[in-house]
Amino acid sequence: MSLTEQTGAAERLGSVSSGNALELRGVTKMFGALAAIRDITLTVGSGERRAVLGSNGAGKTTLFNCVTGDFLPTSGTIRLFGEDVTRFPAHERIRRGLRRTYQISLLFNGLTVADNVYLACRGVSRGRFSFLRPRENDTLLGRADELIEAVHLAPWCDTSVANLSYGQQRQLEIALALAGAPRIILFDEPAAGLSPTERAELVSILNGLPGHIGYIIIEHDMDVALRVAESVTMMHNGMIFKEGTPEEIENDQEVQELYLGDGHG
Amino acid sequence: MSIAEPRKAAVQPMWFEKIPAGWWALVLILLTMPAWANDFVLFQVMGWTFILGMIALSLMFLAGYGGMVSLIQMSVAAMAGYMVAIFGNSGMGEISMGLPWWLYLPIAVAIAALFGTLVGALAVRTEGIYTIMITLAIAAAFFYFTRQNYTIFNGYSGFNLVVPPPLFGVDWRAPMPFYYLTLGCAAICYLVVVYVSRSPFGLSLQGVRDNPRRMAALGFNVTAHRVAAYTFASVIAAIGGILLAWQNAQIAPGTAGIPAVIDILVIAVVGGITRPIGPFIGALIYVLLRTFSPDVLLAFGLSGERFKLLIGLGFLAIVFFSPDGVLGLWERWRNRRARGQDPLTGEDP
C-alpha cells in the first residue's frame, strides 16, 4: 500500500471515528433457547489493550464471533470506531481496521506461508480481483515479507502451511491479523498449546505492537494475560462478571473464588 | 533473514529456461502434428480433445481452485453454441439473424458468461453435494427447455449448418485449419488459467477453497469472489462451446444433455483437477476411448454397441487406482523415482 493510499484510508476511517475503538451495547446471541452471551455492554478505547478472562463456555469466543460478524447478534448494537456495524458482513468490518485470530488456526493449508500472508495483505487493499500477477517489486509482496519476518517465519517462506509445526501455525495466524493497517485486533487464545519459550516470544510480539493498535485477548493463562493487558474483563455464563485493572482482578475475592474455587468443589 | 535472502539474490533464469524440456517436446509435437497425422486424427481426435479439454478446464478452475464442483459448464458451452447459431448463420434462416462474426462471437460469449454467472450466483450459497445438485438441476432444466422451445432454440432438432466464418479466405472447418484453431484457443485458455492461478484473483480463490471463513476475516467478499470465478470459467466454457458447435456444424439439445454434462465431470476427474493440464489429459483419454473402443470390441468379437462399457471400465480403473486422476498417478511415480535416486535432497537426478 502506498503512503498516499494509506493516509487516504486513515482519513476516511478517521471521519467516522470517535474515541472508542469498539462499543457493544446490550449484545445478546441466542442459539435456540440457549443464550451464549447475554446483554454484553463493553467499551474498548482506541489503542486499549484488554484481556477477556472466563472459564470454558463463558461466551468469550461467541463474543468475538459477533464482533467480527461471523454471525450476527440476536439483539444489541456493535459500533466500530463510532460506526454502527451490527449488520455489516465480516469483510466490511475487516476493511474498517478490525482483525482477529482464531483459537484453532484457520489457515490456507494448500498455500505457502508467503501466499497466506500476501492474501492477508491483499484482502485489506485494492485489487482483490486483479487478474494480473504481482510484479517482483510489488509493495504488498514487500509488506508480506516484513510481516513474515516480524513473526520469525522467514526461513519457512515457501513452505506449505500444512507442513508447519503447530507453534509456527500460531505465529502465522498472528501475521495474518497484522496485515494492512489494523486498529483493533481480537486474539482468541493465541498462547494455547505453545511452549514456555514460544509464550515468551508471543508476549514480546504483543508488547512490540505500535501504540495505536489496540487489542482484546482471550487468554486462559493468567500469567500471559496480565502481562499484555492494561485492563481486564471477566466473563461468566455469557455475562460480564467484573471489569478492572489486572491488579484489581487478580486480588478480587469473587474472581478468586470463581477461578480457584472450581477445583475445590 | 540471511536464510531468506539467497532466494531473491540468486540470478533469475530467463523465462524460457524455466520451462522443462518435456514441455518443449510437447509444443513441437503439437505444432508439427498436421505434417504426420491424418485428417481424422487432426479434426476428430485432437480437435475434439482440445474442445472438451477447454470445457473441462473451466470445471477444473472452479473445482480445483475454487472448491466448487459445477455441472453447469457443458450447458454454458452449449448456450454459447446456440447463441452463435441464433445471432450468426445456420440452416434455420427464419431464426438466425445473420449478424457479422465480430458481433455475434462477443455476444455469444457474453450471454453464455451471463448465464454462467447467474447460475453461479445461485450455486455459491451452497456447499459440496448441494452445489452439484443445484447445477445439475439447472443443467437438466436447460436441456429440457432447449428441447421444448421452438421459437428461440428450435426444439428437438436444434440448428444445423453452424459453421465458422470464412475469415482470411480460410475454411476453418477443414482439418488442418480447425486443428490449429482449436489448438490455439486451448493453448490460450490453458496459459490464461495458469497465469491467473497466481494472480491475486486466483490466489484468493484458492484461499476461499481452503478456508472461506478466514477469507472473510481477511477482508475478502467470499460470495463475490465465487461468483466472479463462475464468470471467468464461463468464458472459457463458452469458447469451447462455440468451437464444439463449429466442429459438429450443429447445435442441438443433446449437446448439453445429462450424459454430456456428466462426461465433463468424468473428463476433469480422470485427468485430475489439481492442475490445468489435467482436463486435457482426461479429454484425450475420453476421446480415444470414445473413438476407438467400438473397434477394440469388434476385434474381440463383441458387439461394437457396447463401447460405453469399455469407457466405463476404463474410467473405473483410473479412478480406482488414483483418486486424483492421471495427474496423481504421474506425480506419485515421479516422487517415487526421485526418492529412489536421491534420498538426501529429494531432487530430480
Question: Is the separation of the CB atoms in B89 and B153 below 8 Å?
Answer: no
The residue of chain B with its CA nearest to that of A127 is B200
- Cβ of B196 under 8 Å from any chain A Cβ? yes
| pLDDT band, residue A3 (cuts 50/70/90) | very low
Give the integer Cα–Cα distance in Å for A48 and A233: 12
Nearest chain A Cα distance for residue B7, angstroms: 10
A chain contacts of residue B209, beta-carbon cutoff 8 Å: 110
Q: Shortest CA distance to B72 belongs to which of B2, B142, B14, B126?
A: B142
In this prediction, residue B233 has a pLDDT band, given cuts at 50, 70 and 90, of very high
Residue B31, classified by CB atoms within 10 Å of its CB into exposed (0-12), middle (13-18) or buried (19+), is exposed
Mean pLDDT across chain A: 82
Q: Per the CB < 8 Å rule, is B219 touching A180?
A: yes
CA B178 distance to own-chain centroid: 17
Report the DSSP beta bridge partners of residue A30. Answer: A35
Confidence of residue B1 (pLDDT cuts 50, 70, 90): very low
Per-residue pLDDT tens for B107-119? 999 999 999 999 9
pLDDT of residue B82: 92
- Using the beta-carbon criterion (under 8 Å), do B215 and A119 form an inter-chain contact? yes
pLDDT band with cut points at 50, 70 and 90 for residue B81: very high
Total number of domains in chain B = 1
User: Locate cell 507453534: which residue?
Assistant: A167
Q: pTM of the full predicted structure?
A: 0.82
Strands (DSSP E) found in B164-276: 250-251
Name the DSSP class of B257: S
Q: Is residue A190's pLDDT more than 50?
A: yes
* Cα A230 from Cα B27, distance rounded (Å): 65
B324 close contact with A: CB closer than 8 A: no
Please give the ipTM for the structure prediction: 0.77
Contacting B residues, span 221-280, partner chain A, CB-CB under 8 Å: 221-222, 224-225, 228
Question: Helix or strand or coil: residue A78?
Answer: strand
Band of residue A194 on the pLDDT scale cut at 50, 70, 90: confident
State the nearest Cα–Cα gap between B218 and chain A, in angstroms: 5
Using the predicted structure, report yes or no on whether residue A173 has a pLDDT greater than 70: yes
Range of the domain at B173: 38-271
DSSP helix/strand/coil, A91 = helix
For residues B7-11, give the mean pLDDT. Answer: 50
Exposure b/e, A97-116, CB count within 10 A at least 16 = b: bbbbbbbebbbbebbbbbbb
B332 φ/ψ angles, rounded to the nearest 5 degrees: -65, -40
The pLDDT assigned to B340 comes to 62
Q: By the CB < 8 Å criterion, does B85 face chain A?
A: no
Residue B280 belongs to some domain of the structure: no
Confidence of residue B15 (pLDDT cuts 50, 70, 90): low
Mean pLDDT of A184-191: 89
Sort strands A75-80 and A20-31 into parallel, antiparallel or unpaired: antiparallel
Cβ atoms within 10 Å of A256's Cβ, excluding its own:
12
Q: Which pLDDT value is given to residue B112?
A: 94
The partner residue sitting opposite A108, judged by closest CB among B201, B210, B216, is B210
What is the band of B13 on the pLDDT scale with cuts at 50, 70, 90? low
Residues of A in contact with B218 (CB under 8 A): 91, 94, 119-120, 123-124, 176, 179
In a domain, B125, yes or no: yes
Report yes or no: B108 and B219 within 8 Å, Cβ to Cβ.
no
Name chain A contacts of B203, Cβ cutoff 8 Å.
111, 115, 118-119, 122
Rounded Cα distance, B197 and B115, in Å: 23
A128 touches chain B (CB under 8 A): yes
Q: Which residues of A touch B216 (CB under 8 A)?
A: 69-70, 89-91, 94
| Portion of chain B with pLDDT greater than 90, in percent | 33
Q: How far is A144 from chain B (nearest CA, A)?
A: 13
Higher pLDDT, A37 or A9: A37
Residue A48 near residue A21 (C-beta atoms within 8 A): yes
End-to-end CA distance of chain B: 30
How far apart are the CA of A253 and the nearest CA of chain B, in angstroms? 38
Lowest mean pLDDT among A98-102, B91-95, B341-345: B341-345
Q: Do A123 and B215 touch (CB under 8 A)?
A: yes
The SS3 of residue A131 is coil
Contact B218 A94 (CB under 8 A): yes
Q: B234-279: per-residue pLDDT in tens?
A: 999 999 999 999 999 889 898 888 989 988 998 898 888 888 998 9
Chain B, nearest residue to A100 by Cα: B217
Alpha-carbon gap, residue A196 to A56, rounded angstroms: 22
**Residues of chain A positioned with their CB less than 8 A from the CB of B227:** none
What's the CA gap between B189 and B193, in Å, rounded? 6
Question: Quick check: B56 and B227 in contact, CB under 8 A?
Answer: no
Cell digits of residue A186: 481480537
Cβ distance A124 to B215 less than 8 Å, yes or no, reads: no
Sign of CA dihedral A47, A103, A68, A72: negative
CB contact under 8 A, B4 and A129: no
| Per-residue pLDDT at B8 exceeds 50 | no
Q: Is B338 domain-assigned?
A: no
Dmax (CA) for chain B in angstroms is 73
Of B4, B213, B219, the CB nearest to A95: B219
Instruction: Encode pLDDT of B156-172 as tens digits.
Output: 888 887 778 877 877 78
Place of cell 447460475: B119
* CA A245, A246, A248, A249 torsion-angle sign: positive
Measure CB to CB from residue A106 to each of B198, B206, B213 and give the nearest one: B213
Residue B273 with chain A: CB contacts under 8 Å: none
B242, with CB counted inside 10 A (0-12, 13-18, 19+), is buried
- Could B199 and A130 be called an inter-chain contact, meaning their C-beta atoms sit closer than 8 Å? yes
Burial class (CB in 10 A: 0-12, 13-18, 19+), A263: exposed
